[in-house]
Amino acid sequence: MIEIRWHGRGGQGSFTASKLLGVAVTLYGSKHALAFPSFGPERRGAPMQAFTKIDDVRIRDRSEITRCDYIVVLDETLYRQELLSDLKEEGKLILNASRPEKYQEQGGSRIIALDATSVALEILNRPITNTAMLGALIGVSGITGVESVLEGMSHFLKGSLLDKNRQVVSRIYDEARRLQDEPTRIAQIR
């Protein structure tokens, strides 16, 4: 089973990204997926988590994920060095960071940092990074193809919002794929 934990703030779309990935692997990848959030009475801006589980067989375990294949952090202020201890042996932490180079020494090849906010601002005119970080995750992990995600997005988004978010995913996906060949695992997205 592939287990992904998303860290974001209420209103940033962590749960939406989790669902988008689930739809992509289920409808276009012949896998089973479970996507769910974890939050209490928090309000917009409060820290929250979302989870995605992916497997070849039906998923019956609905518990929160503590040992992760991937941790995706949408908001840099939520990053803590301790998150690395929640990763499985080959796990990766994918971090949205304004200065990705700052994280080069902290986690070595376990942290993949990129500036998703800049791309979201450029294309969406809003600092909503959920689809950017989804693109980074699939670029790093190969969990599913980018085409599956782009097609799956049409189940949640429409019109120009869909088109713009597809641009965001594609651009970050390409950058994340490029990062796989770089030993420093950081990116300045152009």
List, for residues 46-81, the tens digit of each pLDDT value.
Answer: 889 999 999 999 999 888 999 999 999 999 999 999
For residue 107, the model assigns a pLDDT of 61
Count Cβ neighbours within 10 Å for each residue of 162-185 and write b for 16 or more, e otherwise. Answer: eebbbbbbbbbbebbbebeeeeeb
Range of the structural domain that residue 107 is part of: 2-187
The number of distinct structural domains making up the chain is 1
Interval 110-151: pLDDT, tens: 899 999 999 999 999 999 999 999 999 999 999 999 999 999
Please state, in angstroms and rounded to a whole number, the distance separating the CA atoms of residues 54 and 175: 24
Q: How far apart are CA 34 and CA 127, in angstroms?
A: 27
The label of the residue with tokens 């180079």 reads: 101
- Its sign, for the CA torsion 16, 21, 25, 27, is positive
Share of the chain above pLDDT 70, in %: 91
CA 24 from chain centre, in angstroms, equals: 13
- CATH number of the domain at 31, please: 3.40.920.10
CB atoms near residue 1 (< 10 Å)? 13
Half-sphere exposure of 174 (CA within 13 A, CB side): 8
